[in-house]
Structure 1
Amino acid sequence: MKSIMEIIKKRKSVRTYESKKLSEDDCDKIREYINNKENRIGMFGTEIRLELIFADENESGKGLKIGTYGIIVNPQAYIAGCVDNTLSNMVEFGYVMEKMILFLTDLGLGTCWLGGTFDRKLLNNEISLEEGEIIPSITPVGYPKNKEGIKQKAMRILVKADQRLPWKDLFYLYDFSLPMHKTIEGILNEPLEMVRIGPSASNKQPWRVLISEDKSIYEFYLKRTPNYAANPMGFDLQRIDL
């Protein structure tokens, strides 16, 4: 069993998958995970609904197409998260979805956070939403293909998928005028590095962490990217990143 930090380091966005169905064993493990209520509860007690949808099984019988605009190739399934659209629920949603994605990573499966590059109307044909519920994000699921296509490589470059902001731009000591570096003693270096390399929409990394003078309190703040808060999808995308 890998440590959570090993899994976080291993995780990356996968956009091209093998044309190979998920094994029964992997399907069973996924179902067991999402059916366990404990796995769907956020840090503050909100329950997130998780739905597994196979790409070759849908109402039309023609294979699920949700308009990923060629960005995702050969997905074998999708997992969608459903939750009431409130500000606090977006934070809870991000926690539950990322925890699940790390579980899938540990199984050797590929995933990719999708928030704005799929057609919600098409997906709504497959999932019955309760009043007030939305689908903020989904992930494709499949076995990663070693070689990506030109379009997928271009997407990784466009969103700077392999780049992350340095420590001095994310973490601060005492106040936001004192950027922090790894060399400072008494801080949680490894957990902070896991925060730094985490995924975010368009790789904007909108989180900032302020550490108290005695290094015992770590406060998370949201530094908004212009035009992200008022996105046309009707929910606060960057709260999910937080």
Structure 2
Amino acid sequence: MDYKHAISVRYSCRSYLPQELPASAVERLKASIAEYNLLSGLHIQLIQNSDEAFGKLSKSYGMFSGVRHYLAMVGRSNGIHEKEKIGYYGEKLVLEATEYGLGTCWVAGTYNKEACVCQLEPREELYCVIAIGIPAPKTSFKDKLIKGMIRTKKKSLEELYEKHGPVPDWFLQGIETVQAAPSAMNKQPVKFSYKEAGPEALPTAHGWIISNKYGMEQIDLGIAKLHFEIGAADAEWEWED
């Protein structure tokens, strides 16, 4: 899986063709979902052929069109690091779907949560969804407008990490990949730092949120951490506890 390529071509798709998902993509996505649920303890679900959450009476009316499929990002209520895991594994599925030729978009508030048909076990909750499907052949004016707004608001590399002296190339490559990460309202509320290797320890990176105003920042952190790992994949390092 070429995650770096997926990052370079991924965009927040809001207009879809009302068609079935390709069977091969569904099979591979379901296999990944099963693996990531086992690793994380999440309960991510692929919902197909259900447009109620994005219908005319939903909060998304006018924001999305043709959405019939989505990933329901379900986890334990008040679970430790649950939102961060939602972001990390959800974005991994987003990038995989991108490589399968599908469009995706993280959706936190502009959908009808009560109309989602996902299954919730006791003490579970639906944190957000990810729209997924075959992109409409022509990018809509709406998509172009939002994409243009996002492009002008991206933070600089220097705003995404703390400087305490020089940092290695692999760390900067991680930060460059973080810069391309999606986030709620494009706030990019994350920051990273670097710590040199010790006598018997690898160099470390640390990531954290710089605000918690909207309740989605921990999800953004999980997304950003995955991007950092992808960008810095060629080096030996580890996350700071």
TM-score norm. by structure 2 comes to 0.78
Who is 1:20 aligned against? Answer: 19
Q: Which residue of 2 aligns with 1:77?
A: 69
Give how far 1:128 is off: 2.8
How far, CA to CA, are the matches of 1:118 and 1:19 in structure 2?
Answer: 17
Identify if the C-alpha distance between structure 1 residues 151 and 7 changes in structure 2 by more than 3 Å, giving closer, same or farther. Answer: closer
| Equivalent of residue 209 in structure 2, options 211, 214, 222 | 222
Q: Structure 1 CA distance, aligned partners of 2:31 and 2:206? A: 34
Shift of 1:194: 1.0
Partner of 1:48: 42
| Dislocated runs of 4+, deviation >4 Å | 184-187
Q: Give the percent of matched residue pairs that are identical in Structure 1 and Structure 2.
A: 25
Aligned-pair CA distance for 1:185? 4.6
- Structure having the higher helix fraction is 2
**Superposition pairs for residues 186-205 of structure 1, below 5 Å?**
186-205=169-188
- Gaps (5+ residues) in structure 1? 58-62, 229-235
CA contact (8 A) 1:170 1:209 kept: yes
Task: Name the aligned partner's letter for residue 199 of structure 1.
Answer: P
Matched-pair contact (CA < 8 Å) for 2:3–2:96:
no
- Say which is worse superposed, 186-195 or 137-146, in terms of deviation: 186-195
Report which of the two has the higher share of strand.
2
CA distance in 1, matches of 2:29, 2:104: 13
TM-score, length-scaled by structure 1: 0.77
Residue 122 (1) aligns with residue 110 (2): no
- The 2-side partners of 1:167 and 1:116 are apart by 28
- Distance in 2 between the 1:162 and 1:146 partners? 25
Tell me, in whole angstroms, the C-alpha distance in 1 between the residues paired with 2:36 and 2:180: 23
Q: CA RMSD in A?
A: 2.4
1:116-155 to 2 correspondences below 5 Å: 116-123=109-116, 126-155=117-146
- Contact conserved, 1:72 with 1:152, CA < 8 A, in 2? no
The 2-side partners of 1:47 and 1:141 are apart by: 22
1:64 is matched by which residue type in structure 2?
Answer: E
For residues 151 and 47 of structure 2, what CA distance do their matches in structure 1 show?
26
1:164 paired to 2:164: no
| Aligned pairs for 1:31-110 within 5 A | 31-34=30-33, 36=34, 38-41=35-38, 46-55=40-49, 57=50, 63-66=51-54, 67=58, 68-86=60-78, 87-110=80-103
More divergent stretch after superposition (137-146 vs 98-107): 137-146
- For these two proteins, the number of residue pairs brought into alignment is 212
Question: How many Å separate the matches in 1 of 2:114 and 2:146?
Answer: 24
